[in-house]
Amino acid sequence: MSAIVGKVWRFGDEINSDLLAPGFYLKAANEIMAQHCLESVDPTFAKSVQPGDIMVAGHNFGVGSAREQAALSLQLLKVGAVLADSFARIFYRNALNFGVPCLFFPHYKEINAGDRLSVDAVSGKLENLTSGKSYTVDPIPAHLMEMITDGGLMPHLKKRLGQGKAA
């Protein structure tokens, strides 16, 4: 997987799963629900986020219910990566299962909305292309990066099972 380059969308602490996937839209199609992602925090986010853009947040990103739609919304919006000081455990796993790279990033306060970042999740190297500052964080383990590169858990399993039958 090559580096992800995108514009930063900056959020604070405790961004919960209800903000990422508002309950009012859970019975709608997933694509409709994703159009309302974070609308109560930033009404422009879902309408303006571009494929590959990067979310940067503080503590406990994804806290709240275990609804996998929170991570699915980010996948459907084609968010390139989420960098946060910490993640709710279930959200973190759901995000990886949907192919959304999440990196623990203790330097989140040094990044501003609108900055452009380059994120290499395999090496753990990040560069703020706006400020020129570089960072190193723990990379995503190789076996999980393979799953993310395949598009998430289900596409990864289908690929592996397909290869197993051909062998």
DSSP letters, 129-163, are TTT--EEE-PPPPHHHHHHHHTTSHHHHHHHHHHH
pLDDT for 167 beyond 50: no
Task: Read off the pLDDT of each residue in 148-166 and give the average, rounded to a whole number.
Answer: 83
Tell me the whole-structure pTM to 2 decimals: 0.92
Nearest to 15 by CA among 83, 103, 80: 83
Q: Assign 60 to helix, strand or coil.
A: coil
Residue 40 — very low, low, confident or very high, per pLDDT cuts 50/70/90?
very high
Task: Return the percentage of the chain with pLDDT > 90, whole number.
Answer: 90
Query: What average pLDDT does the structure give for the chain?
Result: 94
Model pLDDT for residues 55-100, shown as the tens digit of each residue: 999 999 999 988 899 999 999 999 999 999 999 999 999 999 999 9
CA dist 130 → 2, 7, 56 (Å): 19, 10, 15
107 — phi, psi (to 5°)?
A: -95, 20
Average pLDDT over residues 124-149: 95
The domain tally of the chain equals 1
Q: Residue 114 pLDDT more than 80?
A: yes
Q: How high is the pLDDT of residue 117?
A: 98
Looking up tokens 């959020």 gives 11
CATH value at residue 152: 3.20.19.10
The predicted pLDDT at position 1 comes to: 63
- Contact between residue 46 and residue 38 where contact means Cβ atoms under 8 Å apart: yes
Pairing of the two strands 116-120 and 81-84? unpaired
Query: Looking at this protein, which amino acid is placed at residue 133?
Result: K
pLDDT for residue 66: 84
Whether residue 153 is predicted with pLDDT greater than 50 in this model: the reply is yes
User: Which domain does 36 fall in, by range?
Assistant: 4-166
Cα–Cα distance measured from residue 21 to residue 19, given in angstroms and rounded to the nearest whole number:
6
